């Protein structure tokens, strides 16, 4: 490794974090946006570079100030975290590239530098979680990302975002506090905060009860932040009333970071040390996953606002990820981790298309969108294609996830058959809720005069279609996400006894 490559894990966080205050100083809002976009793209290229490195067999560990691991701050990047970093920085970059119209419409030019500052802090915090190797720094990054996300969600002109974000703030804080209580307990018992060190030392703890309590607090706390059903209530309104660009960014990655941490903590620290914990884990997650998939999809069926419809669909998709993980098998965890990537692509593309629609339409209820496909054929086609990915039509990324999930479920014997039925039913529900939108935009009766409606700006369309084509590309050539995901699954399982 060259010397620069060695520093990549640190740069991943430092670049957006140090750009944030600089962006605040850039007064003309265009300049602030440009700087934020450049910083985000730079972070994206760092993530790509590390992904390539990880695929070549490198693992990145970085000691801050060269202090050795259990004492100093350690950063590390493996397959799983590389996958996450790719999603986070990619989502941020796509959202910023396409977000100009949405941000201009929602936020005063004078406040835009502050908005972009908060955006970069959110990016830094979210990227920090997969990079950090100790529980306390993870907590710090999580809090940075959360606080910054509250700001950018509420930053728009829609006042309904305020109660939504207040709910998010309360629940997010409870989640973070629970997590902090959990690591506090572990620290009391083991005297360490480094995850790898923790894994070794929990063995030596004579009384396992506090560890068990810690596991409970950490799991519930992270489940809250990850919008695991039924702790998802903060999510739909936050996504619905946030500025569209923010929705693209956060919908693609925010809950996934908490899910990542949930899996990582559970498999690295608890599974190997607590007797029978894998069974507890499965029994805890599987029913919740099934409920999330069925109920959230069911709500999406009747939702009238496209953004909230997609938000509920996200809750269901989080269920897919949990379901795969609850099998505690290589196939299941591969399905789960590959869906991190695939769902981010599909949902990101869908929200990008919604952002395009929002530039022209008066509202985002289905009735507001009647017949717009005639005036915005490219946007409509992008929505359809990204919708195919969400449904899981072959040739799209969604199909890859579905294939792995069904394979993993069928390995489970008779229980698996029932779970396949759940997966199939939810795919069909996805078909129905996506198709309600498709029918509205193609065949619906216009309720307002559409003569002024034009196709979305070319730059937005280009970004949206790049995301759509990525859905198709990684649906036909899924080598990169699948390699990362299966390696991540194996790493997770290595920590089992």
Q: Site for other proteins (CB under 8 A): which residue of 98, 402, 433, 456?
A: 402
Q: Site for other proteins (CB under 8 A): which residue of 305, 442, 457, 466?
A: 442
| Chain Cα centroid distance, residue 379 | 23
Helices (H), 76-208: 79-98, 100-106, 112-131, 135-154, 161-190, 195-201
Dihedrals phi, psi of 134, to nearest 5 degrees: -125, 150
* Rounded Cα gap, residues 386 and 396, in angstroms: 8
Q: Does 105 bind other proteins (CB under 8 A)?
A: no
Considering only 4-12, 168-176, 213-221, 396-404, which stretch makes contact with other proteins by CB under 8 A? 396-404
Considering only 8-16, 37-45, 276-284, 475-483, which stretch makes contact with other proteins by CB under 8 A? 475-483
The residues, any chain, with a CB within 8 Å of residue 282's CB and separated by 6 or more, are 326, 327, 328
> Least distance to other proteins from the beta carbon of 253, Å?
25
Q: Does 420 bind other proteins (CB under 8 A)?
A: yes
Q: Site for other proteins (CB under 8 A): which residue of 200, 393, 472, 480?
A: 393
CB-based contact 398:382 (threshold 8 Å): no
Q: What is the 3-class SS of 405-443, one letter each residue?
A: HHHHHHCCCHHHHHHHHHHHHHHHHHHHHHHHHHHHHHH
Residues listed for the chain: 497
> Least distance to other proteins from the beta carbon of 435, Å?
7
Q: Site for other proteins (CB under 8 A): which residue of 64, 105, 418, 477?
A: 477
Q: Site for other proteins (CB under 8 A): which residue of 181, 431, 450, 493?
A: 431
> Least distance to other proteins from the beta carbon of 417, Å?
9
Q: Does 149 bind other proteins (CB under 8 A)?
A: no
* Rounded Cα gap, residues 463 and 329, in angstroms: 36
Burial readout 245-273 (b: 16 or more C-beta within 10 A, e: otherwise): bbbbbbbbbbbbbbbbbbbbbbbbbbbbb
Considering only 36-44, 94-102, 235-243, 421-429, which stretch makes contact with other proteins by CB under 8 A? 421-429
CB-based contact 117:111 (threshold 8 Å): no
Considering only 106-114, 171-179, 361-369, 419-427, which stretch makes contact with other proteins by CB under 8 A? 419-427
Considering only 255-263, 302-310, 350-358, 435-443, which stretch makes contact with other proteins by CB under 8 A? 435-443
Closer residue to other proteins in complex, CB, 265/399: 399
List interacting residues with other proteins (CB under 8 A): 388, 391-395, 400, 402-403, 406-407, 410-411, 420, 424-425, 427-428, 431, 435, 439, 442-443, 476-478, 482
């Amino acid at each position: 490794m060259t010397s620069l490559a060695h520093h990549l894990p640190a740069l991943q966080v430092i670049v957006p974090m140090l750009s944030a205050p600089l962006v605040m100083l850039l007064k003309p809002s265009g300049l602030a946006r440009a700087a934020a976009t450049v910083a985000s793209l730079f972070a994206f290229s760092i993530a790509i570079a590390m992904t390539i490195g990880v695929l070549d067999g490198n693992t990145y560990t970085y000691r801050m100030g060269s202090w050795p691991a259990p004492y100093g701050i350690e950063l590390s990047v493996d397959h799983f975290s590389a996958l996450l970093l790719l999603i986070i920085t990619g989502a941020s970059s796509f959202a910023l590239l396409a977000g100009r119209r949405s941000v201009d419409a929602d936020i005063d030019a004078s406040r835009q530098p502050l908005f972009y500052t908060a955006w970069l802090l959110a990016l830094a915090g979210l990227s920090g979680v997969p990079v950090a190797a100790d529980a306390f720094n993870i907590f710090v990054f999580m809090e940075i990302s959360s606080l910054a996300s509250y700001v950018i969600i509420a930053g728009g002109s829609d006042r309904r975002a305020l109660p939504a974000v207040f709910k998010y703030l309360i629940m997010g804080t409870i989640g973070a506090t629970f997590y902090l209580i959990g690591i506090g307990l572990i620290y009391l018992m083991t005297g360490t905060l480094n995850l790898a060190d923790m894994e070794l030392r929990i063995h030596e703890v004579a009384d396992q009860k506090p560890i068990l309590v810690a596991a409970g607090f950490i799991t519930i706390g992270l489940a809250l932040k990850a919008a695991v059903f039924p702790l998802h209530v903060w999510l739909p309104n936050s996504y619905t009333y946030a500025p569209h660009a923010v929705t693209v960014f956060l919908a693609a990655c925010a809950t996934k970071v908490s899910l990542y941490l949930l899996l990582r903590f559970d498999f690295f620290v608890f599974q190997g040390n607590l007797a029978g914990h894998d069974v507890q884990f499965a029994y805890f997650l599987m029913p919740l996953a099934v409920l999330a998939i069925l109920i959230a999809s069911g709500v999406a069926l009747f939702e009238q606002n496209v953004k909230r419809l997609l938000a509920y669909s996200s809750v269901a998709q989080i269920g897919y990820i949990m379901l795969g993980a609850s099998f505690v098998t290589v196939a299941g965890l591969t399905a789960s981790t590959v869906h991190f990537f695939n769902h981010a692509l599909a949902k990101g593309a869908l929200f990008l298309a919604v952002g395009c629609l929002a530039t022209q339409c008066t509202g985002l209820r289905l009735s507001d969108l009647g017949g717009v496909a005639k005036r915005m054929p490219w946007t409509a086609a992008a929505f359809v294609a990204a919708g195919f990915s969400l449904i899981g039509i072959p040739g799209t990324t969604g199909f890859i996830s579905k294939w792995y999930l069904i394979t993993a479920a069928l390995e489970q014997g008779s229980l698996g058959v029932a779970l396949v039925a759940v997966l199939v039913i939810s795919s069909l529900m996805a078909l129905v809720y996506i198709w309600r939108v498709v029918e509205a935009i193609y065949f619906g009766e216009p309720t307002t005069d559409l003569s002024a409606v034009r196709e979305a700006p070319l730059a937005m369309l280009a970004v949206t279609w790049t995301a759509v084509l990525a859905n198709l590309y990684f649906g036909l050539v899924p080598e990169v996400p699948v390699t990362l995901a299966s390696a991540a699954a194996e790493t997770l399982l290595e920590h089992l006894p």
